[in-house]
Amino acid sequence: MQNKFESLELGQFIPLHYHYNMLNDNVRMNGFKEAINLAVKPGAKVLELGGGTGVQSFFAAQKAQKVYCVERNPELVNAARSLLAQNVHGDKVEVIQADALHYLPPEPVDVVICEMLHTGLLREKQMPVIDSFKRRYLEKFGGPLPVFVPEASIQAIQPLEQNFHFEGFYAPTILFQDPCAIQERSKSLGDPEVFQLLSYAEPFDQTCRCDEEIVIAEDGQLNALRLITKNILAIDMQSYSTVDWHTQYIIFPLSKPMLVSKGDHISIRFDYRGGAPLNALPDSLEISLVSKQASVLQLASEALSGTAESQLDAADKAGGL
């Protein structure tokens, strides 16, 4: 059954003020500017799917011959046209009101920019939009496919002990974290475990699936998971480096916290469709203790027991001779 609020979800209609905040995100802006400058060659033709205010189409227009900027939200279409008209080479950008899930340019393009990204590839429609574009583009124009910005996404999951108390108010809720800031309320209980490597130019399943076993590195109460999404915006083949951008981390509280010790093995399983609501991950989550690290006293007891058994065996053998 279709969600009656689907058209209001991120990736469909993002409010204009949200885009104004994104313009003020220096890490995001610098990353995409550098990546687009690497990907777009002089005289190239570029398509942006989900153009917003048109800023990334503006970056592309500094070197491109032509840029098609597709945006569904009429408020953003008007804003993009107005803002681009005030910027150098903005006249190279054609802003088109259309649904990115179904749009194809009138001619082959060299680069496709699609920043419909949310941590976990949740909520926004990055995966279905790119998958749909590739299939329809190849049917209409044949190969090769354009270069994609971003080129890839890497996803990881991390066990946490999270402080969910806020001025005395206990609220185990989904939280967002700045990836560039120190998170004093989060205690890492293990290293991030990569569960997905996604290259947008390659065929991919629209399912995000995790089936990992993580070794606990610190004693604590496992009461949350941190979801990490790192986007490879572009690859610089001359310097053998990448232009990266992390979306905000998401903290998912566990319904049943568990005490864990260093050396324990935890199984984490979940799967959801790209673009699904945030609750798709916790709704499918299965987490369990696979093996319990023996305590120091247990190990000592077993060692002593083993020594005693060895001594008895030796005595029996000596008596037999």
Pair 291, 163 in one domain: yes
| Alpha-carbon distances of 188 from 5, 249, 280, 295, rounded to whole Å | 36, 13, 23, 21
Average pLDDT for the chain: 90
How confident is the model over 178-197, as pLDDT tens digits? Answer: 999 999 999 999 999 999 99
Residue 309 lies in a domain: no
Sign of CA dihedral 157, 162, 28, 30: negative
On the question of pLDDT at 15 being above 90, the answer is no
Residue 132 lies in a domain: no
Pair 158, 237 in one domain: yes
Quote the tokens at residue 295.
């305590």
Q: Give me the pLDDT at residue 284, please.
A: 98
Residue 251 lies in a domain: yes
Pair 162, 235 in one domain: yes
Pair 42, 173 in one domain: no
Using DSSP's 3-state secondary structure scheme, residue 100 falls into: coil
How many structural domains comprise the chain? Answer: 2
Residue 111 sits in a domain of what CATH number?
3.40.50.150
Q: Give me the pLDDT at residue 5, please.
A: 41
Q: How far apart are the C-alpha atoms of 193 and 35, rounded to whole Å?
A: 26
User: Which of 88, 115, 142 delimits the end of a domain?
Assistant: 115
Domain region containing 233: 152-297
Residue 98 lies in a domain: yes
Residue 252 sits in a domain of what CATH number?
2.70.160.11
* Res. 87 pLDDT band, cuts 50 70 90: very high
Pair 160, 270 in one domain: yes
Burial class (CB in 10 A: 0-12, 13-18, 19+), 146: buried
Pair 156, 109 in one domain: no
* Res. 4 pLDDT band, cuts 50 70 90: very low
* Res. 320 pLDDT band, cuts 50 70 90: very low
Residue 33 lies in a domain: yes
Pair 26, 106 in one domain: yes
Residue 185 lies in a domain: yes
Pair 199, 246 in one domain: yes
Q: Give me the pLDDT at residue 319, please.
A: 40
Pair 157, 240 in one domain: yes
Q: What is the pTM of this model?
A: 0.87
How confident is the model over 126-157, as pLDDT tens digits? Answer: 999 999 999 999 999 998 999 999 999 999 99
How confident is the model over 41-78, as pLDDT tens digits? Answer: 999 999 999 999 999 999 999 999 999 999 999 999 99
| 163 DSSP 8-state letter | -
Q: How far apart are the C-alpha atoms of 280 and 270, rounded to whole Å?
A: 9
Residue 79 lies in a domain: yes
Q: Give me the pLDDT at residue 307, please.
A: 52
Q: Give me the pLDDT at residue 20, please.
A: 86
Using DSSP's 3-state secondary structure scheme, residue 194 falls into: strand
On the question of pLDDT at 315 being above 90, the answer is no
* Res. 162 pLDDT band, cuts 50 70 90: very high
Helix axes 26-39, 16-23, angle to 10 degrees: 80
Residue 31 φ/ψ, nearest 5 degrees:
-65, -50
How confident is the model over 279-306, as pLDDT tens digits? Answer: 999 999 999 999 886 544 455 555 656 5
- Under 8 Å CB-to-CB from 42, ≥6 apart: which residues? 63
User: Which of 68, 87, 115 delimits the end of a domain?
Assistant: 115
| Residue 250: count of CB within 10 angstroms of its CB | 20
Pair 235, 284 in one domain: yes
Q: Give me the pLDDT at residue 304, please.
A: 59
How confident is the model over 305-314, as pLDDT tens digits? Answer: 655 455 435 4
Which residue has tokens 């995000």?
208
User: Which of 89, 115, 141 delimits the end of a domain?
Assistant: 115
Pair 181, 84 in one domain: no
Q: Give me the pLDDT at residue 7, please.
A: 43
Q: Give me the pLDDT at residue 13, please.
A: 61
Average pLDDT estimate for 103-107 = 98
Pair 94, 229 in one domain: no
Contact 264, 291 (CB under 8 A): yes
| 306 DSSP 8-state letter | H
Residue 259 lies in a domain: yes
How confident is the model over 240-273, as pLDDT tens digits? Answer: 999 999 999 999 999 999 999 999 999 999 999 9
On the question of pLDDT at 1 being above 70, the answer is no
Going by C-alpha positions, the residue among 50, 59, 55 that lies closest to residue 23 is 55
How confident is the model over 209-240, as pLDDT tens digits? Answer: 999 999 999 999 999 999 999 999 999 988 99
Contact 107, 75 (CB under 8 A): no
Q: Give me the pLDDT at residue 19, please.
A: 86
